Amino acid sequence: MSLLDYFRSSKTSSASLAKERLQILVAYERSSSSQPSYLPQLQKELLLVIQRYVDVSQDAMTINLEQNDNQETLELNIVLSERRRN
């Protein structure tokens, strides 16, 4: 590392970018690996059924399975678009 680098290095560090990317990715992968494998397929099929009646986009739906001590909750979140609601 030369004198010039010494003053330059603090601006943007690629290591902090790496850490940020990793944190997001690992958090996502941890949550998806703990869910049952049928969940993506279930989401796809539910979306198809809903789309027959309402116009919803692919990313307007989130599905989540939560496990507590004595119960499981399947949470389905669908955001309907403003203009299509009447």
Partner 1 sequence: MARIIVVTSGKGGVGKTTTSAAISMGLAKKGHKTVVIDFDVGLRNLDLIMGCERRVVYDIINVINGEATLNQALIKDKNCNLLSILPASQTRNKDALTQEGVGKILEELGKEFKYIVCDSPAGIEQGAHLAMYFADDAFIVTNPEVSSVRDSDRILGLLASKSRRAEQNEEPIKEYLLLSRYSPERVKSGEMLSLDDVQEILSLHLLGVIPESKSVLLASNSGIPVILDDKSDAGQAYADIVARYLGENKPHRFIDDKTGFFRKLFGGK
Q: What is the DSSP letter of 10?
A: T
DSSP string, 19-38: HHHHHHHHHHHHHHHTS-TT
Among 21, 31, 51, 76, binds partner 1 (CB under 8 A): 21
Q: Scan residues 55-84 and list those touching partner 1 (CB under 8 A).
A: none
Among 23, 57, 62, 67, binds partner 1 (CB under 8 A): 23
- d(C-alpha 67, C-alpha 58), whole Å: 25
For binding to partner 1 (CB under 8 A), which residues are involved? Answer: 1-3, 5-6, 9-10, 12-16, 18-19, 21-23, 25-26, 29-30, 33
